[in-house]
């Protein structure tokens, strides 16, 4: 059942460029992706456009990660659930794209969360539909080999600690989270996803 769902999701998925173009075209009409439309979400989408344009130019894989990616033997697909308004997705998708572009063993495909609720509900985080969620799929037969997300461990701890202190994610916490991503330069994400790939290789 899961393989059929994965196959169906992949058939309607976007490449990274297609996803970026889709979000951009919606913004021209004052819209964001997703079932809910609001000025706030559209503003987040616009901010994420700028953020991703910058990250596309600045994110660099470390020599160690490149070496580890080159050692991968099987072919995999990063099937990622996302939405244009999601700040974490804007930080992480450019890293995933750089990784997928570094080897012919990886391909990045993106689907929208609200259009793929059945898939999303199979990969909840603490009972919630948190994104981005990367599903690692074996390219040969669309078997799920693992998943990752919605944030690297350091960012997850930052948000968890802030929630424990304030009860909610405040604007101050969101600002601190963006600073964390800026300082980290995508390194935690690329290392954690490479760990996931290496784990899949042993299965």
In this predicted model, what pLDDT tens digit does every residue of 43-93 receive, in sequence order? 999 999 999 999 999 999 999 999 999 999 999 999 999 999 999 999 999
Element (H, E) at 109: strand 106-112
Peptide bond into 150 cis (omega under 30): yes
Query: Is residue 27 a contact partner of residue 49, using CB atoms and an 8 Å limit?
Result: yes
Which CATH superfamily groups domain 2-201?
A: Glutaredoxin (3.40.30.10)
Every domain of the chain and the residues it spans: 2-201
Closest CA to 110 of 52, 60, 70: 52
Spatial separation of the C-alpha atoms in residues 50 and 53, rounded to whole Å: 5
Place of tokens 């990063």: 78
pLDDT at 115: 95
Residue 1 has pLDDT above 70, yes or no: no
Weakest-pLDDT range from 102-106, 173-177, 198-202: 173-177
pLDDT digits (tens, 9 = 90+) for 156-169: 999 999 888 887 78
pLDDT tens across 105-125, in order? 999 999 999 999 999 999 999
> How is residue 102 written in tokens?
């570094």
Comparing C-alpha atoms, which of 150, 149, 154 is closest to residue 182?
A: 154
């Amino acid at each position: 059942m899961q393989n059929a769902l994965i196959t169906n999701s992949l058939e309607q998925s976007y490449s990274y460029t297609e996803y970026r173009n889709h979000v951009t075209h919606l913004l021209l009409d004052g819209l964001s992706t997703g079932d809910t439309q609001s000025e706030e979400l559209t503003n987040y989408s616009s901010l994420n456009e700028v953020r991703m344009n910058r990250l596309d130019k600045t994110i660099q894989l470390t020599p160690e990660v490149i070496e580890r990616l080159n050692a991968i033997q099987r072919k995999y697909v990063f099937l990622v659930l996302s939405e244009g308004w999601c700040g974490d997705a804007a930080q992480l998708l450019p890293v995933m794209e750089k990784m997928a572009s570094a080897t012919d063993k990886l391909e990045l495909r993106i689907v929208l969360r609200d259009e793929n609720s059945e898939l999303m509900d199979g990969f909840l985080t603490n009972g919630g539909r948190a994104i981005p969620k990367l599903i690692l799929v074996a390219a040969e037969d669309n078997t799920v080999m693992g998943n990752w997300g919605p944030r690297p461990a350091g960012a997850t701890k930052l948000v968890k600690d802030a929630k424990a202190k304030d009860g909610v994610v405040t604007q101050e916490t969101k600002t601190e989270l963006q600073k964390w991503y800026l300082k980290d330069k995508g390194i935690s994400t690329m290392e954690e996803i490479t760990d996931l790939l290496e784990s899949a290789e042993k299965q």
